[in-house]
Chain A
Amino acid sequence: MTEDAGNGLPGLHRVQIWLNDPGNWSGSEGMLARLGEHIEYTAVIIALAVLVAVPLGTAIGSTGRGTVAAAAAANALRAVPTLGLLVLLIVVVSPRVSIGAGIPGIIPSGGIPYFLPALLVLLILAVPPILTSTYAGIQAIDPAVRDAARGSGMTALHAAIRIELPCAIPVVMSGIRSATLQVIANLTVAAYAPLVGGLGRFIVDGDQNLSDPRFGYPAMIAAGLGIAALVVATDGALKALQRQISSPGIRIRPSKRPS
């Protein structure tokens, strides 16, 4: 009835009213709970993506084998339309998964069959940047460093883990950062799946209910702002983490930094 934009929609000031209403922040369907879910989902997805991509990328980078195949696969995966694949998986996979239980505080009971498609789709999004940055980072290491490691008696595995990966950390972390930001942003569409939370819930539901002052577009904009803030904060945190875990010898320092 009121779907025409600019026609019958309450004004932008509604967003401020929405944000100032404590009822929209608290409770299991409030902004804070959704933000928490968003962070939890992101953490789970990035952890899984790192577990897959870093060992694989290290192996590819230090042996030099499979670079072409990995690059091709990563690029192909990047081209997968997230929402399209998600809907496909919800329609095809969810009806075949029979897990009634949930994970308290993260996924309500009955939600796992719908969370799995979202997880898979976002892994497809998160793995390629980490994979490519890991092998690229390792391949970029000065061959003299690798030779020195091997020359001092390290095995290839040892050299990869103790020398090459630590040297590549800044590049690997840039991949992880880029993957994390993409996951935070794209988690929004995961709410297309029933029972999956996160800030996308406000956006997906609000889109169907635009003119409603509480569940409509004010909630969508508020959630959008929340996601933007989360992205900025997370990137800052990851930058700090990167500095912490990079060996002082390879740290990239801004040249004109006042100290």
Chain B
Amino acid sequence: MRPGILLTLAAFAATAITACGANGSSAVSENSTPVASATAEDSPLPSTPGAVTIGSANFPESELLAYLYAGAMTARGVQVTVHAGIGERPAYLAALNDHSIGAVPEYTGALLSFLHPATTAKTPNDVYNELRTYAQGRDLAVGRYAAAQDVDTITVTRATAARYHLQSIGDLKDVAPTLSLGAPAPFRTVPYGIPALKNIYGVTFGRFVPLPATGSIARTTLVKGTVDAADIFSTDPAIQRDNLISLTDPQNIFAAENVVPVFRRDVLTQPMADACAAVATHLTTSALAGLVTKVVDGVDPAAAATSWLAEEGIT
């Protein structure tokens, strides 16, 4: 097989599983400021570095995030073991619960809706604050969240954006009836999907094309013009590679999915929290997308994490 094909396949596999990461939704709002601090102000954290095993879900981005947090914590004297690729959310949360691991990278919105399915929080701060409450109830502590989000976006090609002067989802209002939208099948009925586009932005697409929940096929249909707009994750490598434009979501129909570390409360120490906060300060969606692109292209996640941490002056 030619390397190009292998890469495409790797990208396919990667994006296929990224889907598990953020099952809810939100828009890329890079400008949302992470809230000042983090965890359990009720009781001061131990000042000794301590030791932690950090797990990850079984998709490349999660693995990469585990190594980012691990690298930053190691630099602060924490003894870190990485246990990557555990599985999906129920699997790694069970591992967290039974002490097999002490921490795992997460996404605020997806974790919140797992812990509290009835949530209606949408903005990064609301989601984070609610998440802290529900995490505490499970003896978990969440670190500071990063501006980086892996969230659903309505994405178009640069040409489409230019032709119809599109910046935010709302700009689609007048042209959407002549356009088609490609998205995973549930998008047709989930509250944050087509119903939200219609009720909140007044946007109704002329045609809905159900796509497999894999970025690679969504990318192909979008780039080839099979669909005019597609639901693509904000860290999908295709966005940078193919010069795609993710429309902003000022009304937050997609709940925020900021990257956040989740710890067992009895494991978390101040140096760990500080290390994760340092990562959070520097990690933007485009930085994360750039790192994911590297990993999908075959760079070892640990190596990609190490070099980024050094570039940003975190280690």
Q: What residues of chain A have their CB less than 8 Å away from a CB belonging to chain B?
A: 1, 87-88, 90-92, 94-95, 98, 100, 110-111, 113-114, 192, 194-195, 201, 204-206, 208-209, 212, 214-215
- Residue in contact with B224 in the complex, picked from A87, A95, A209, CB distance below 8 Å: A95
Contact B186 A91 (CB under 8 A): no
Contact A192 B186 (CB under 8 A): no
Within 8 A of A (CB), among B185-239: 185-186, 188-189, 209-213, 216-217, 220-221, 223-227
9 interchain pairs, CB-CB under 8 A: A88-B9, A90-B220, A94-B224, A95-B224, A100-B225, A208-B185, A208-B186, A215-B185, A215-B186
Question: Does chain A have a CB within 8 A of B5?
Answer: yes
Contact A212 B189 (CB under 8 A): yes
Contact B186 A212 (CB under 8 A): yes
Residues of B within 8 A of A94 (CB): 217, 220, 224
Question: Does chain A have a CB within 8 A of B271?
Answer: no
In the assembled complex, the Cα of A194 lies from the Cα of B216 at a distance in Å of 12
> In the complex, how many residues of chain B place their beta carbon closer than 8 angstroms to a beta carbon of chain A?
27
Closest beta carbon of chain A to B13's beta carbon, Å:
10
Residues of B within 8 A of A95 (CB): 220, 223-224
Closest beta carbon of chain B to A84's beta carbon, Å:
11
Contact A194 B8 (CB under 8 A): no
In the assembled complex, the Cα of A162 lies from the Cα of B140 at a distance in Å of 79
Contact B188 A194 (CB under 8 A): no
Contact A194 B210 (CB under 8 A): yes
- Residue in contact with B189 in the complex, picked from A91, A111, A209, CB distance below 8 Å: A209
Most-contacted residue by chain B among A1, A98, A113, A204 (CB, 10 A): A1
Residues of A within 8 A of B8 (CB): 91-92
Closest Cβ neighbor of A201 among chain B residues: B210
Closest beta carbon of chain A to B276's beta carbon, Å:
27
Closest Cβ neighbor of A8 among chain B residues: B117
- Residue in contact with B210 in the complex, picked from A90, A98, A205, A212, CB distance below 8 Å: A205
In the assembled complex, the Cα of A215 lies from the Cα of B210 at a distance in Å of 11
- Residue in contact with B9 in the complex, picked from A91, A98, A114, A212, CB distance below 8 Å: A91
Residues of A within 8 A of B306 (CB): none
Contact B226 A194 (CB under 8 A): yes
Contact A195 B185 (CB under 8 A): no
Residues of B within 8 A of A209 (CB): 185-186, 188-189
Question: Does chain A have a CB within 8 A of B55?
Answer: no
Residues A208 and B213 in contact in the complex (CB < 8 Å), given A92-B5, A95-B220: yes
Closest Cβ neighbor of B207 among chain A residues: A108
Contact A113 B12 (CB under 8 A): no
Residues of A within 8 A of B186 (CB): 208-209, 212, 215
Residues of B within 8 A of A215 (CB): 185-186, 188-189
In the assembled complex, the Cα of A113 lies from the Cα of B217 at a distance in Å of 12
Question: Does chain A have a CB within 8 A of B167?
Answer: no
Question: Does chain A have a CB within 8 A of B184?
Answer: yes
Residues A194 and B221 in contact in the complex (CB < 8 Å), given A91-B216, A209-B189: yes
In the assembled complex, the Cα of A88 lies from the Cα of B6 at a distance in Å of 10
Contact A110 B225 (CB under 8 A): yes
Residues of B within 8 A of A100 (CB): 225
Residues of B within 8 A of A91 (CB): 8-9, 12, 216-217, 220
Closest Cβ neighbor of B190 among chain A residues: A209
In the assembled complex, the Cα of A195 lies from the Cα of B224 at a distance in Å of 13
In the assembled complex, the Cα of A214 lies from the Cα of B186 at a distance in Å of 11
Contact A195 B189 (CB under 8 A): no
Residues of B within 8 A of A214 (CB): 189
Closest beta carbon of chain B to A50's beta carbon, Å:
31
Closest beta carbon of chain B to A59's beta carbon, Å:
33
- Residue in contact with B113 in the complex, picked from A1, A88, A111, A192, CB distance below 8 Å: A1
Closest beta carbon of chain A to B118's beta carbon, Å:
10
Question: Does chain A have a CB within 8 A of B301?
Answer: no
In the assembled complex, the Cα of A88 lies from the Cα of B216 at a distance in Å of 11
In the assembled complex, the Cα of A195 lies from the Cα of B180 at a distance in Å of 12
In the assembled complex, the Cα of A208 lies from the Cα of B213 at a distance in Å of 8
In the assembled complex, the Cα of A91 lies from the Cα of B117 at a distance in Å of 34
Closest beta carbon of chain B to A192's beta carbon, Å:
6
- Residue in contact with A90 in the complex, picked from B182, B188, B217, B223, CB distance below 8 Å: B217
Residues of A within 8 A of B188 (CB): 209, 215
Residues A194 and B211 in contact in the complex (CB < 8 Å), given A1-B117, A91-B9: yes
Closest beta carbon of chain A to B249's beta carbon, Å:
20
Closest beta carbon of chain A to B6's beta carbon, Å:
10
A-B CB proximity, top 8 nearest = A205-B185, A110-B226, A209-B186, A208-B185, A205-B210, A95-B220, A212-B189, A91-B12
Contact B185 A113 (CB under 8 A): no
Closest beta carbon of chain B to A163's beta carbon, Å:
47
Residues of A within 8 A of B224 (CB): 94-95, 98, 110, 113
Most-contacted residue by chain B among A1, A91, A92 (CB, 10 A): A91
In the assembled complex, the Cα of A86 lies from the Cα of B150 at a distance in Å of 28
Contact A194 B212 (CB under 8 A): yes
Known: A1-B23, A195-B226, A205-B185. 5 other contacts (CB 8 A): A91-B216, A205-B210, A208-B184, A209-B188, A215-B188
Closest beta carbon of chain A to B208's beta carbon, Å:
9
Contact A194 B185 (CB under 8 A): no
Closest beta carbon of chain B to A11's beta carbon, Å:
18
